Structure 1
């Protein structure tokens, strides 16, 4: 089995907490992750939106674009509104040969609001979840028809956060909306990180190998502290530096024949946790556990012409 290893630039620049950002250029970010061994990088706010500008940067760094976040609002807004917003992103991602766009629901979400505690996350009743899941499926099918599949990101503070909410969403949605499995968000939400892979592996298209520091999470007062408070306190980290058993997680993916991207997404203070060093820690641990599971990790970065 083959797999590819990528990173998210959120380790270098945090879009929601500017104070958790390192003063490095896009070229430096790509160079540091590539020197650690990663061949892909998800899109961040310092990436250009013009493929004619982005492609030479990726080629020079020997890195491919392996995904990127789209802030969806389908829980509140119409399909047409989201279609109009994502269409330029679809064309960009097609031009640079990215594997998928990550759909993150921000409608009603508290994930970016530091003043709103975790306990006040939005919730959908059964009928609302069914309607929402159907709407997201339609959107995913439309994006796939345009040539760029989505991967749905369950997320702390959003309408699909817990394992039960993810199950309800998956049961109400269809194959037109694949799943992004995020180990860290699932663990933070109290979910079964291995059981969810068993339940939903057929729809998992993209994987975030985010680790957590359970001591930080367990100490949170969810009636007072927000998701961003947890991030600032160090709730997340890279594989090999946290609490999750990635040997078991990766073995579970191997058992189900997953082949694709595994992306390290670990937002934390870059001064206390230098991104280049953390990239090396995460890559070393992933190589170890993927080798144990029988994976061959692809080493080619930017596709050779």
Structure 2
């Protein structure tokens, strides 16, 4: 089985919490992640939107674009509005050979609002969830028809946060919207990562190997503290530095024959947790558990030729 290891630039620049960002260029970010061993990087705010500009930067760093976040609003806006906003991203991702676009729902979400405590997240009724899941499926099918598949990202403080919400969304949606399984977000919400893989492995097309610091999460007051408060306190980290058993998680993916990207997405204070050092910790741990699970990890970055 083959796998690829990538990173998210959120370890270097946080789009929601500017204070958790290093003054590091895109080129330096790519250099550091590549030197740690990672061959892919998801798109961040310092990436150019012109493929003619992006491709030479990726090629020079020997890194491929392995995904990127799209802020979806299908809970509050129609398909047409989302199609209009994602169309340039589809064109860009196709031009640089990215595998997918990560769909994250920001409509009715409090993930970016530090004034809203975790307990105030929106909850969809059964009827709302059914309609939402069908809508997201239609959107996913349209994007795939344009040549760029989506991967749905369940997320803390969003409408699909808890394990039962993920189960409901997956049960009501269709194969036209594959799943991004994020170990850290699901564990933060009290979910069982291994059980979720058992239930939804057939539709998992992208994986975020985010770790958590359980003591930080256990100490949170959900009635007073927000998702961004949790991030600032250090709720997330890289594999090998947190509380999750990635040996068991990776073995579970291997059991189902998953092949594809495993992306480290660990937003935290880069001054307390230098991104290069954390990248090295995460890569070392992932290589250990992936080789033990029978994976061959690809070492080539930007495609040659």
> Aligned-pair distance for 1:170?
0.2
The answer for the alignment partner of 1:259 in structure 2 is 259
Q: Describe the SS at the equivalent of 1:280.
A: helix
Query: After superposition, what is the alpha-carbon deviation per residue over 1:104-124, rounded to whole angstroms, capped at 9, x for unaligned?
Result: 000010000001000000110
> Does residue 99 in structure 1 map to residue 92 in structure 2?
no
Query: After superposition, what is the alpha-carbon deviation per residue over 1:59-105, rounded to whole angstroms, capped at 9, x for unaligned?
Result: 00000000000000001100000000000000000000000000000
The answer for the alignment partner of 1:182 in structure 2 is 182
The answer for the alignment partner of 2:78 in structure 1 is 78
Give the Cα separation in 1 of the matches to 2:88 and 2:268. 30
Q: Describe the SS at the equivalent of 2:159.
A: coil
> Aligned-pair distance for 1:159?
0.3
Give the Cα separation in 1 of the matches to 2:264 and 2:55. 22
Following superposition, which runs of at least 4 residues in structure 1 exceed 4 angstroms of deviation? none
Give the Cα separation in 1 of the matches to 2:193 and 2:178. 18
> Does residue 292 in structure 1 map to residue 292 in structure 2?
yes
Pairwise mapping of residues 43-58 of structure 1 onto structure 2 (< 5 A)?
Answer: 43-58=43-58
Give the Cα separation in 2 of the matches to 1:78 and 1:18. 30
Query: After superposition, what is the alpha-carbon deviation per residue over 1:129-153, rounded to whole angstroms, capped at 9, x for unaligned?
Result: 0000000000000000000000000
Give the Cα separation in 1 of the matches to 2:61 and 2:122. 40
The answer for the alignment partner of 1:233 in structure 2 is 233
The answer for the alignment partner of 1:112 in structure 2 is 112
> Aligned-pair distance for 1:34?
0.0
Q: Describe the SS at the equivalent of 1:197.
A: helix
Give the Cα separation in 2 of the matches to 1:73 and 1:24. 30
> Aligned-pair distance for 1:42?
0.0
Which structure 1 residue ranges, 5 or more long, are not aligned?
A: none
Q: Describe the SS at the equivalent of 2:41.
A: strand
Give the Cα separation in 2 of the matches to 1:2 and 1:95. 24
> Aligned-pair distance for 1:278?
0.1
Give the Cα separation in 2 of the matches to 1:209 and 1:238. 8
> Aligned-pair distance for 1:262?
0.1
The answer for the alignment partner of 1:269 in structure 2 is 269
Give TM-score, length-normalised by structure 1. Answer: 1.00
Give the Cα separation in 1 of the matches to 2:29 and 2:291. 26
> Aligned-pair distance for 1:276?
0.2
The answer for the alignment partner of 2:172 in structure 1 is 172
Number of aligned residue pairs: give it.
305
Give TM-score, length-normalised by structure 2. Answer: 1.00
- Aligned Cα root-mean-square deviation (Å): 0.2
The answer for the alignment partner of 1:2 in structure 2 is 2
